[in-house]
Amino acid sequence: MTDEILGYLRETVGPWSYLVLALCALIEYVVPPFPGDTVVLFGSFLSATAGLNGVVVYLSVTAGSTLGGVLAYRFGRTIGDREERWPRFMRGEGVRRALESVRKRFERHGPTYLVINRFVPGLRSVVFVGAGLSKVPEWQVVVYGGLSAAAWNAAIFGVGYAIGYQWDRLDAFLTSYTRYAVVLVGVIVVLLLVRLWWRRTHQGGST
């Protein structure tokens, strides 16, 4: 699917390209496996090689990312306000404790999570759904999520400029970044789980 989209963008450079880029940036938050970063990177590549306006490309993908985050946030708000409609397996005490932990973390660090979300592949939409479940004010989602998208897209454009807008090298760079970032996130999650297990075990042994 990605190849078809990139092929379409390459062959039909014009006003519609900006809308397609914005939609692709948005879809990443609705369908997380969608490789939105690749399309955004390709947009920066086209702005240098095929005549697209770089400023408009940048604003389009940033607006798309921000709106996508808002949609994921509203999904979290919707399911958070309708607990009576949750499946039975989500009504257990364990799930409730986990959600309460998420809410407390967002109360303390919500803006930080929203600012760094764009730099963490695979968990971006999860952050916004968590913000919705925690009932973070929507203005924070727009402002901090928008700042995150703006910074990330600026970084992508900067990488394109530094590398020289050679698509093969740009794609390889993004693939490497995503791989290492996912591994790092995985390590952090494992360490947090180990920490949680240690605390529970230690507290249990102390009582």
Three-state DSSP at 13 gives: coil
What pLDDT score does 193 carry?
A: 66
Distance of alpha carbon 183 from alpha carbon 122, whole angstroms: 11
Total domains present in the chain: 1
Please say whether the beta carbons of 75 and 127 come within 8 A: no
Expressed as residue numbers, the domain containing 159 is: 2-206
What pLDDT score does 68 carry?
A: 92
Distances from the Cα of 53 to the Cα of 41, 164, 185, 203, angstroms: 14, 17, 35, 59
What pLDDT score does 70 carry?
A: 94
Its pTM stands at 0.73
What pLDDT score does 96 carry?
A: 64
Three-state DSSP at 34 gives: coil
Please provide the DSSP assignment of 133-159 as one string.
Answer: HTT--HHHHHHHHHHHHHHHHHHHHHH
Axis crossing angle, helix 36-49 with helix 138-163, rounded to the nearest 10? 50
Question: Looking at this protein, which amino acid is placed at residue 61?
Answer: V
What pLDDT score does 148 carry?
A: 92
pLDDT in tens, the chain (207 residues): 566 667 766 677 777 888 888 888 888 888 766 766 777 777 777 776 767 788 888 999 899 999 999 999 998 888 877 766 665 655 666 666 666 666 777 878 888 889 888 887 767 788 888 888 888 899 999 999 999 999 988 888 888 777 766 777 777 776 776 676 666 666 666 766 676 667 667 665 554
